[in-house]
Amino acid sequence: MNQHVSWAEAGAAETRGGDVVRIVDLKRQFGGTAAVDGISLSVRKGEILGIIGRSGAGKSTLIRCLNGLERPDEGQIFVEGREITGLGERDLQPLRRRIGMIFQHFNLLSAKTVEENVALPLKIEGRSKAERLARAAELLDLVGLADKARAYPASLSGGQKQRVGIARALAARPALLLSDEATSALDPETTRSILSLLKDINQRLGLTILLITHEMEVIRTVADRVAVIDAGKIVEEGQVWSVFADPQADVTRSLLAGIRPQLPEAIAARLGKAGREAILRVDVAGEAARRPLLQELATAIPGRFRLVHGGIDHIQGEPVGTLFVGVQTTDGRVAEIIDFLNARDTRVEVLGHVSDDV
């Protein structure tokens, strides 16, 4: 039986409605350091899963284990229902045709034209020149570069180079697209256009994408689900809006600090243990963020309180926000206000007190 056909046809049947990738208790050490330390994770068919962590957290090692460039010390990796960790180099070749890869620094061949770069995986497969060029033209049209087919990479912008990289990754019609920090070398505007392209490809082709990044803004923009990795372990996992609304791990809260509302530094610097106004942080999501929470509070508990700072964002169609509320301590109703807010599915934290207006 032709090995390539068995991966593409039988694998697609096994994953229909299920997992394209399943990782079970994966471990990989370098010397005495555990780069991947017991990770278990699934990537569902048709979803975009974001894996985020700081530099050195183990993201790159994990993705290299997935495409067979690293051998794990322990654990299992299933791709389209097949266990791959014991495969030799020859048997890994059909697997790699099922996995497309886009890179941070594009990895284009400078001596080849754009269409030749895109068609290269098909040339390696032994496809005819007519088939290669037809597929390259189709993909360049998909990524908006139909007019650049005969250009060379040196004449392209960074965003155009990454679009070529995406087209090349799709050439062999993969079941899974791996994106390793694909937007890290791009400016913010170009990053947004590339993320929009990935989301469009995901929706139009039903392509499963595993996205490695250290930027929460990337996760917020494009991912369906997020897994946070720290010191080789998955420390938090869930729907993107849910994790953003109520992060549990310290590393997640740290990664979110740049894009969630934060108490202004001028106010934070003046917080103390006592004062005539308590500053509350109120995290809201879902139904709690849709209701007129402060209006309800003012009706139920008359007294002096005010909105100091904050805002509401929408992630995956769900409202998620943080409000900083100042409550007068002289009324003696701070605990009552906190109980009222907690009863409405918010998360409330007393950050401290200030002595005068801020």
The more confident residue out of 14 and 305 is 305
Q: Which residues pair with 306 in a beta bridge?
A: 326
Confidence (pLDDT) at 16 = 44
Q: For residue 93, is pLDDT > 90?
A: no
325: containing domain: 265-354
pLDDT at position 358, please? 57
Compute the average pLDDT of residues 145-149.
95
- Is residue 77 scored above 90 in pLDDT? yes
Indicate whether 190 and 42 sit together in one domain: yes
Tens digits of per-residue pLDDT, 48-76?
Answer: 999 999 988 999 899 999 988 889 999 99
Choose one of 217, 232, 256: the last residue of a domain: 256
How many domains does the structure of the chain reveal? 2
pLDDT tens digit sequence for 100-115: 999 888 889 999 999 9
Is the pLDDT at 2 greater than 80, yes or no? Answer: no
Average pLDDT, the chain: 89
Domain endpoint, select from 238, 256, 274: 256
Contact 21, 82 (CB under 8 A): no
In 208-300 the beta strands, taken as DSSP E runs, fall at: 208-213, 225-230, 233-239, 277-285
Beta 347-354 vs 318-328: how paired, if at all? Answer: unpaired
Residue 167 domain flag: no
How far is the first Cα of the chain from the last one, in angstroms, to the nearest whole number?
Answer: 74
> What are the pLDDT digits (tens) for 210-265?
999 999 999 999 999 999 999 999 999 999 999 998 899 999 999 998 888 889 99
Task: Kindly state whether residue 212 falls inside one of the protein's structural domains.
Answer: yes
pLDDT value of residue 94? 81
> Is 19 a member of any domain?
yes
Mean pLDDT, residues 9-26: 68
Q: Are residues 83 and 182 in the same domain?
A: yes
Question: What band does 173 get if pLDDT is binned at 50, 70 and 90?
Answer: very high
Please answer whether residues 212 and 51 qualify as being in contact, where contact means their C-beta atoms are separated by less than 8 angstroms.
yes
211 and 315 housed in the same domain: no
Residue 11: pLDDT over 50: no
pLDDT at site 357: 62
Res 49: pLDDT: 96
**Contact criterion met (CB below 8 Å) for 133 and 95:** no
pTM for the model: 0.85
- Listing DSSP states for 73-133 in one string gives SEEEEEETTEE-TT--HHHHHHHHHTEEEE-TT----TTS-HHHHHHHHHHHHT--HHHHH
Same-domain status, 240 and 345 = no
Q: Which of residues 196 and 14 earns the better pLDDT score?
A: 196
Per DSSP, 272 falls in state: B
Q: What is the pLDDT of residues 267-311, one digit of tens each?
A: 999 899 888 899 999 999 988 899 899 889 989 988 778 899 998
The enclosing domain of 297 has a CATH number of 3.30.70.260
Model confidence at 37, pLDDT cuts 50, 70, 90, reads very high
